[in-house]
Amino acid sequence: MFGFPLLPEQASAIASKVDALMLFEVGVSAFFLTMIPLAILGFCIRYRRGNRVDRSNPPTHSQSMEIIWIVGPMALSLVMYVWATRLFFEQYERVPGASRIDVVGKQWMWYVQHPEGRSETNELHVPVGRPVRLNMTSQDVIHSFYLPEFRIKQDVLPGRYTELPFTPNKVGEFNLFCAEYCGTNHSIMIGKIVVMEPEDYEAWLAEKGAGPSQADEGEKLFVQHHCAGCHRGSQTVHAPRLEGVYNKPVPIQAGDEIRFEVADEAYIRDSILLPKEKVVAGYEPIMPSYKDQISEQDLLKIIAYIKSLANREISQ
């Protein structure tokens, strides 16, 4: 931007706005960093010992200077605060119809799962001009998903999901780094973002070997881990059915009281790994924990399958 050699190229819709804010803040800092030392140096030279200048009646108070010195920096700070806040909310605003892609960080690689079935390691293919929403988690320690050309970064945390939305606006290959020290081989946890034309991206998704969809793989894992025996029509144990449960309020037994929680991705994840902490009202806490038995990428597939049941009715 403006020929500044230290800035990487801009590859997302938000990049130019982030650069404009950063350059404004750098400009404000440079102004005060330059003017204050120059004023000090000027006074040191003008009023040095032996120099003939009028030293009578030196000013001890200036109300106008105090007002300028208080109001000026405060106004600049408020401008930067409001500007940055608006940009923050714009960056993380959910865009309807954004393509959702799951990302798992682990020492020392990035695992990426597309809902259509394609998965990749240390690479992320996305279409140009289309909004993308990354749903991210970590299998071990804290990582940080950093795309310098896109001017975005988001911590990836174990035990919870974080989101990173963006819209690529330039075709090409761009850098992917982990920006949080995550262990011995942190420096090799790098990858690339491949931004493609929409038709090329669709062809890439449909290439031979793409495999079943994420939800289809999740259904196989659902059966493999014996979840179907309790949560399907052929259930042998009295357990909640999962059709239509996603994103709906679920009654949770909390002592003698009942509270409601929305069955979002975090709730489903906790119900699989820590089932006795949030027991559905009317059911016994008999579900075993699958903690340390299901990997994060498989967990995302099972969640994708449960989400696919959102619009199904329970068959009797």
Between residues 284 and 199, the one the model is more confident about? 199
Q: Check residue 65 and give its pLDDT.
A: 85
* CATH 2.60.40.420 for domain 99-205: yes
Average pLDDT over residues 252-257: 80
Is the pLDDT assigned to residue 34 strictly greater than 90? Answer: yes
Q: What is the CATH number of domain 214-308?
A: 1.10.760.10
Between residues 97 and 132, the one the model is more confident about? 132
Q: Check residue 299 and give its pLDDT.
A: 86
Average pLDDT over residues 237-257: 81
Q: Check residue 263 and give its pLDDT.
A: 85
The rounded distance, in Å, linking the Cα atoms of 222 and 28 is 56
Is the pLDDT assigned to residue 52 strictly greater than 90? Answer: no
Q: Check residue 220 and give its pLDDT.
A: 85
Question: With contact defined as beta carbons under 8 Å apart, do 28 and 76 qualify?
Answer: yes
Render pLDDT for 267-316 as a digit per residue (tens, 0 to 9): 888 888 888 888 888 888 888 888 888 888 888 888 888 888 877 654 44
The rounded distance, in Å, linking the Cα atoms of 172 and 56 is 68
Between residues 105 and 237, the one the model is more confident about? 105
The model's pTM:
0.76
Q: Check residue 105 and give its pLDDT.
A: 93
Q: Which pairing describes strands 123-127 and 190-196: parallel, antiparallel, or unpaired? A: parallel
Question: With contact defined as beta carbons under 8 Å apart, do 136 and 104 qualify?
Answer: yes
Q: Check residue 98 and give its pLDDT.
A: 87
Render pLDDT for 140-152 as a digit per residue (tens, 0 to 9): 999 999 999 999 9
Q: Check residue 293 and give its pLDDT.
A: 84
Between residues 218 and 187, the one the model is more confident about? 187
Say if residue 59 is exposed, middle or buried (CB neighbours under 10 Å; 0-12, 13-18, 19+). Answer: exposed
Q: Check residue 312 and give its pLDDT.
A: 64
Q: Where are the domains of the chain?
A: 1-47+62-91, 99-205, 214-308
Same fold for the pair 99-205 and 214-308: no
CA distances from 30 to 20, 27, 65, 185 (A): 15, 5, 21, 37
What's the Rg (C-alpha) of the chain?
Answer: 28
Of the candidate ranges 30-44, 72-86, 228-242, the one whose mean pLDDT is the lowest: 228-242
